[in-house]
């Protein structure tokens, strides 16, 4: 059974801090790892990672994948209150099924 584990489950930081969110996985036939941000409604897509060691970056957010150690991290620098959300990690696996297995998410709270 495919498994995705995120840590920590919740985190409280002050504005301006840098945070690192972790995602480890055990899946058969790995295809890609995805990060989403969920505020109150729809998860919004952040990154898709398929290759080890290549950092993806968007503004203050960045992410990297290690396929040997089976984990990914999501970094957020200079956090703002608008970064407060649940961050979801998901892994796509299996040939042709295009299913995602999600972790439980990390709830990030950024306080002024």
Residues in the site for another protein, rule: CB under 8 A? 4, 9, 31-32, 34, 36, 41-45, 48, 50, 88, 90, 92, 96-100, 102-105
Give φ, ψ of 83 to 5 degrees: -80, -10
Give the residue with the Cβ less far from another protein, 2 or 17. Answer: 2
Give the residue with the Cβ less far from another protein, 64 or 103. Answer: 103
CB 104, min distance to another protein, A: 4
Q: Please name the residue that has the structure tokens 């945070």.
A: 19
Give the residue with the Cβ less far from another protein, 14 or 41. Answer: 41
Beta sheet of 19-26, edge-to-edge order: 3-7, 19-26, 71-76, 61-66, 56-58
CB 93, min distance to another protein, A: 10
CB 78, min distance to another protein, A: 25
Q: How is residue 45 written in tokens? A: 């897509």
Query: Virtual CA dihedral for 75, 105, 84, 56, nearest 10 degrees?
Result: 30
């Amino acid at each position: 059974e495919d498994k995705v584990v995120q840590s920590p489950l919740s985190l409280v930081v002050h504005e301006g801090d840098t945070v690192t969110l972790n995602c480890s996985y055990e899946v058969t036939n790995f295809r890609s790892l995805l990060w989403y941000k969920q505020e109150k409604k729809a998860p919004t897509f952040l990154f898709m990672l398929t290759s080890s060691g290549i950092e993806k970056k968007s503004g203050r957010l960045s992410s990297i994948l290690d396929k040997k150690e089976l984990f990914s991290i999501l970094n957020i620098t200079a956090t703002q209150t608008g970064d407060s959300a649940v961050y979801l990690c998901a892994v796509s696996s299996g040939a042709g099924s295009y299913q995602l297995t999600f972790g439980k998410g990390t709830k990030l709270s950024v306080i002024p």
